[in-house]
Amino acid sequence: MINKTEKLLAQLVKLHPKYIDLSLDRLKILLKKLGDPHLNLPTTIHIAGTNGKGSTLSFLQNILKNNKYSCHAYISPHLNRFNERIIINNKEINTNKLHNTLKLIKKINKNKPITFFEITTAAAFLLFSKNKADFLLLETGLGGRLDATNVITKKELSIITSISIDHQEFLGKTLKKITKEKLGITNYSNNILIAKQKSEVNKIIYSKLKKNNNVFYFKKHFNFYENQSSKFLFRYKNKKFNFDKPRLLGNHQLENASTALASAMILQSNGFKINEKKFNKSIKTTIWPGRLEFVNLNNKKIILDGSHNIGGAEKLNLFLKEKKIKPIVLFGMLNNKPIYEFLKTISNNVSKVVAVRIPKEKNAFTVEEINNYCKTISLECVNKKSINDALYYIFHSNKKNVLITGSLYLVGKVREKIL
């Protein structure tokens, strides 16, 4: 069934000549044929941003789960299997149910042009509508205003995580344009939560949302700061909490955890039964693979991190600098990503790049292209034909610290091989 589902997913990719073509029209037509399942969903929390969406969702999901709430969730991309994208009542979608739903929707669509993300979002909405849950945690795929998930017309809470430059060809070349696109999800929202942002982004957001009385801002309404090596302090309005740090590494995960905690406090103030005593355990036990994930293997300390944009590179570089390590890097990236800026950002805190082309991704940079970019910033680079060749080279090197980064797709493929 898994092979059949993969073949079916490959067929869905071919329904539209472009992998990304931002519009809500095609999806609305298909949803109408399906009986408008997007109008029959659980209490919805919508999440947009450049970085931190998945981690914030995971923290919040764990908080709600520990408070005995059932959650559907929709995330992208996946690490290993498409099933990871659709969570039904806190559990990954069953392959048989996924296959049957995709098959049904493909039939109803009648091969009309529609993007892969649009048709799989329709499948997710249909599954969510047929299975009861207390909450739906909904992560945007790209942008916000014209993202396929933004057909929802009733949201309990919209969350805007950290915004930076990414997907300029679709969202605009400036932070102002990108921010306005992300803020598109805030329509039809009872409450809006703005996570920690750069000052430039905050000014744009304040200007756009200044007339809304239901907006909660980082620093103004909630905040965090480190207390001890294993603790951090979280503040929401006049309340203060002292929590254990998350298992997820990096200071940015304190930001994401705080955003999730503030979300839970907003839900609590809106009548949902949220026990604050469950917060510490929820934050401490949250797992989100492929984001500064540490693995010990063959006397090597391997860091798996799916960062692929400038904001992610900045957070990754800060982490490497704080840890005072200069790892050898297994690197691959899709060719619509800012490879020069990414490599330049981390260049002072890595020792060497081992370049690979991401398997089965036609839009990935070639090893020659990666090597050329490395040369422009005087970063040593070696080319390898496959992930297996790259891992063999790395495991036989004298470097103890290894970083896998540049793409979540690459991290997923490496993770399959080493775990």
Based on the fold, state whether residues 111 and 253 are members of the same structural domain: yes
Are 257 and 171 within one domain?
yes
Last residue of one domain, picked from the residues 285, 303, 327: 285
Angle between helices 175-182 and 199-209 (to 10 degrees): 50
**For residue 404, pLDDT beyond 70:** yes
259-270 tens-digit pLDDT: 999 999 999 999
pLDDT in tens, 197-209: 999 999 999 999 9
> What's the pLDDT score for residue 107?
97
Q: Which CATH number characterizes residue 316's domain?
A: 3.90.190.20
Residue 228 pLDDT > 80, yes or no? no
Q: Are 186 and 192 in contact (CB under 8 A)?
A: yes
The share of the chain scoring above pLDDT 90, in percent, equals 88
User: How does pLDDT run across 104-127, given as a tens digit for each residue?
Assistant: 999 999 999 999 999 999 999 999
CB atoms within 10 A of CB 76: 20
Residue 142 pLDDT greater than 90, yes or no: no
Regarding whether 356 and 373 lie in a shared domain, the answer is: yes
Same-domain check for residues 281 and 372: no
* Rounded Cα gap, residues 331 and 405, in angstroms: 6
Q: What is the pLDDT of residue 224?
A: 96
Helix (H, G, I), strand (E, B) or coil at 353: strand
Q: How many CA atoms lie within 13 A of 249 on its CB side?
A: 17
- Integer CA distances (angstroms), 361 to 97, 163, 304, 358, in order: 27, 26, 19, 6
pLDDT bracket for residue 169 (50, 70, 90): confident
Do residue 206 and residue 350 come from a single domain? no
What is the pLDDT, as a whole number, of residue 170?
Answer: 65
Residues 321, 274 share a domain: no
Q: Which of 285, 303, 331 corresponds to the end of one domain?
A: 285
CA distance 193 to 142: 19
At residue 118, the pLDDT reads 97
Whether residues 269 and 327 fall in one domain: no
pLDDT of residue 235: 97
CA distance 50 to 25: 24
Say if residue 265 is in the same domain as residue 379. no
pLDDT(168) > 80: no
Average pLDDT of the chain, as a whole number: 94
Structural domain boundaries enclosing 402? 293-418
Instruction: Give the number of domains in the chain.
Output: 2
Per-residue pLDDT at 14 exceeds 70: yes
Average pLDDT over every residue of 88-93:
96
Mean pLDDT of 360-375: 95
pLDDT, residue 3, reads 87
CA distance 265 to 246: 18
Alpha-helical regions (H) of 325-418: 339-346, 367-376, 387-395, 408-418
Arithmetic mean of pLDDT, 48-69: 97
**pLDDT > 70 fraction of the chain, expressed in percent and rounded:** 99
Out of 269, 285, 301, a domain closes at 285
* Residue 354, pLDDT above cutoff 90: yes
Q: Is the pLDDT of residue 2 over 70?
A: no
Query: Residues 164, 50: contact at Cβ < 8 Å?
Result: yes
pLDDT value at 298 more than 90: no
Stated pTM of the model: 0.93
Q: What mean pLDDT comes out for the span 239-253?
A: 93
The answer to whether residues 311 and 361 belong to one domain is yes
Same domain for 212 and 254?
yes
Q: Which CATH number is 185's domain given?
A: 3.40.1190.10
Q: How far apart are CA 144 and CA 147, in angstroms?
A: 5
Q: What is the mean predicted confidence (pLDDT) over 306-325? A: 93
Phi, psi of 235 (to 5 degrees): -120, 135
User: What's the pLDDT score for residue 52?
Assistant: 94
Same domain, 261 and 280: yes
Residues 258 and 300 in one domain: no
